[in-house]
A and B are shown apart, each in its own frame.
Chain A
Amino acid sequence: MTERLRVQDLSVHFRSERREVQVVHDLSFTLEAGRTLALVGESGSGKSVTSLALMGLLPPPPQSRTTGSALLEGRDGADLLGIPESRRRRLRGDRIAMIFQEPLTSLNPVHSVGAQLVEAIRSHRSVSRRAAWDRAEELLDEVGIPEPAARLASFPHELSGGMRQRVMIAIALALEPDVLIADEPTTALDVTVQAQILDLLRRVQERTGMAMLFITHDFGVVADIAHRTVVMYAGRMVEAGPTEDILRRPLMPYTSGLMASVPLLETAGTGRSELATIDGFVPDPAAPPAGCAFHPRCAHNRPGRCDVPPIAVEAPAPDRSIRCARWRELAEEVR
């Protein structure tokens, strides 16, 4: 499998009022051509910061500090974290693109959809306005917008949320990027529209072979789209592996907790459907608990085991990793 983006030991620190707070800890993962990696976690787990760091969208030092490397493979490959802003700007939108959670506000309200697509194309390719316009029409057609030629003249406020997200996807795909980062692209949409968008992303991926980093908190979505999954908690990877394996047998109690909090239609209204929640909150990154960051919320917490640093990352299977002091015992219990 061709590697497209190799992220190694990514750490992000934020500085606020002379204090430095680490929000992402030594995160490593690899994006492969034609595959989707899901980054899963609650709000505040550092998943969005990871995507912003990769795109170079975090505030400049000293407000934030990013270390580690993110190697973009292929023609003019580069370390996204190490190159100057001017070079990174040329790569953004061209080799690596991103779509956001809020399709409602991600389009400029004063320009037509066509103008924004044409801009995206012409900012990286020297093609004529007419050629870019034709390409824009093709793109709208590809993302399943009816009457693409007429829609090019529409303004964002004339489109529905789902349509706008399709336009955002069309803009992101305009230059056939190698890597697409999707930061909760379906969270703001209706469930039916959500399924359509996931389907669209999958189709485009099959055609272009792009690698996708999919950021979400919804295991339903993960199951639908991701080949591999990385579960994050408090800025750290806590569990990683093939999506199927993780869904079938989650090893980290946090992962099971997240999975249990997805509402299931089968049990709804049967009286047994009380939705599981994980009590408590994501810890303040300025004052993380000692040892496993999840232990204060974990039902399997054992004092003396879970609250003692460091918790090592172990590999229960060749392509899985887990950061949990008691995963072995817990796995035994289940069996």
Chain B
Amino acid sequence: MTAIPDTRPKMRGARFLQSRGMRRFFRHKLAVLGLAMITLIAVACIVGPWLLPHDMLDIDIRGRFSPPLTDTYLFGTDEMGRDLAARLFMAGRVSLMVGVAAMVLSTVVGTVIGLLAGHFGGALSTALMRFTDAFLCFPQIFLLLALAAFLEPDAMMITIIIALTSWMEIARIVAAEIRSLRERDFVTAARVSGASHAWIMFRELLPNAAGPIIVAATLTVARAILIEAYVSFLGYGIQPPLPSWGNMLNNAQQYLDSAPWLAIVPGVAITLAVTSFNFIGDGLRDALDARSDMP
């Protein structure tokens, strides 16, 4: 008897990796490529700044506008002679953090709203879903710019603003999913055994909606990174000297002729990160959304 609780986590882990869903994910070539790419980018951003010989703020006036692979400058230098590689990796930390944090925040908000709307139905559902629709009606980018111009745009604030403008899709996905799940017999069975609303929502319904939520969350990271890049590019996002991929592009636009690498390097980073997250999202959709594991 005592052995059972001890073996459970291990069995679960093995089950998870061998599950049909995970096998389907690893058969999806692009998704695996995306996962590898994101891992690579994340590792580079985390350890890169320590390994490079230059700090992102070190100014080398004589070495301004060095093209890539000059001396020890892997990606060259910018208009103040700062190491572009060091800045790219530091910017990557900021951009990825903003992306992931905005995803977590908007997923939590969207999931809670969708869960309440889907589970309770009736007037509450109508109110919440119309509220969601109202948010969807705002053109996201203008809302963002207005908020960013109005509020102090540091990394935290940008994250919150992005989350505030991107939870709606998840809310709608979750609400639709929960509405169909709550009609299933196991929910009635849970009610029959005296389960409370909170229990039914978080223990019975939510785990069954995990697939679509994970997919939507992954795609939200990609979008959040892109939105942060927009806003910072337009000068309302992360403020220099703290670099982000977006504001690096903003600087680069003046030197597009003379030093195109200033735009190409962060541009490629954004593209790689965003497409990788989108590939992962597609792979997860194929793996999880088919829901063939359910009886």
A binds B: yes
- Residue numbers of A with Cβ under 8 A of B are 55, 57, 89-94, 97-98, 100, 102, 104-112, 114, 119-120, 123-124, 130, 133-134, 137, 149-150, 152-153, 156-157, 168, 171-172, 174
Count of inter-chain pairs, beta carbons less than 8 A: 91
Residues of B within 8 Å of A150, CB to CB, are 4
B295 at the interface (CB under 8 A from A): yes
Instruction: Assess A93 versus B8: contact at CB under 8 Å? Given A108-B186, A110-B207.
Output: no
B123 at the interface (CB under 8 A from A): no
Q: Is the CB of A92 within 8 A of B11?
A: no
Q: Does B195 contact A (CB under 8 A)?
A: yes
What would be 14 A-B contacts, judged by CB atoms less than 8 Å apart?
A: A55-B191, A89-B194, A89-B195, A91-B194, A98-B189, A104-B295, A107-B189, A109-B208, A110-B207, A114-B4, A120-B193, A123-B196, A149-B3, A149-B4
Q: How extensive is the interface on chain B, given as a class?
A: 20 to 34
Shortest beta-carbon distance, B249 to chain A, in Å? 43
Docked pose: A171 CA to B188 CA in angstroms: 13
A220 to chain B minimum Cβ distance, whole angstroms, is 24
Q: Assess the B11–A106 pair: CB atoms within 8 A.
A: no
Interface string of B161-186 (1 = CB under 8 A from A): 00000000000000000000000111
Residue picked from B190, B192, B203, most chain A C-beta under 10 Å: B192
The yes or no answer to B51 lying at the interface (CB within 8 A) is: no
Residues from chain B with a CB closer than 8 A to the CB of A153 are: 4, 7-8, 11
Q: Which 6 A-B pairs have the closest CB atoms?
A: A93-B193, A93-B194, A105-B185, A92-B194, A110-B207, A106-B185
- CB < 8 Å neighbour of B193 from A104, A134, A156, A171: A171
User: Is the C-beta of B69 less than 8 angstroms from some C-beta in chain A?
Assistant: no
Q: Is B50 an interface residue (CB 8 A)?
A: no
B295 lies within 8 A of A105 (CB): yes
- Contacts from B to A (Cβ < 8 Å): 1, 3-5, 7-8, 11, 184-186, 188-196, 199, 203-204, 207-208, 210, 293-295
Question: A157: nearest residue on chain B (CB-CB)?
Answer: B295
User: In the complex, which residues of chain B have a beta carbon less than 8 angstroms from the beta carbon of A114?
Assistant: 4
Question: How far, in whole Å, are A98 and B295 apart by their CA atoms in the complex?
Answer: 21
12 additional contacts, CB 8 Å, given A106-B185, A123-B196? A55-B191, A100-B185, A102-B185, A105-B184, A109-B186, A109-B295, A110-B208, A120-B193, A123-B194, A137-B1, A149-B4, A174-B193
Whether the Cβ atoms of A57 and B186 lie closer than 8 Å is no
Give every chain B residue within 8 A of A124 (Cβ-Cβ): 194
Find the A residue at minimum CB distance from B294. Answer: A109
Nearest B residue to A136, CB-CB: B4
Which chain B residues border A130 with CB–CB below 8 Å?
5
The distance from the CB of A5 to the nearest CB of chain B, in whole angstroms, is: 15
Query: Shortest CB–CB separation between residue A72 and chain B, in angstroms?
Result: 14
Cβ distance B130 to chain A, nearest Cβ, rounded Å: 22
| B210, closest chain A residue (CB) | A110
CB distance from A154 to the nearest CB of B (A): 10
Report the minimal beta-carbon distance from B148 to chain A, rounded to whole angstroms. 40
What is the CA–CA distance of A286 and B14 in the complex, to the nearest angstrom? 55
Chain A: CB-nearest residue to B205: A108
- The residues of A that contact B191 with a CB separation of less than 8 Å are 55, 57, 92
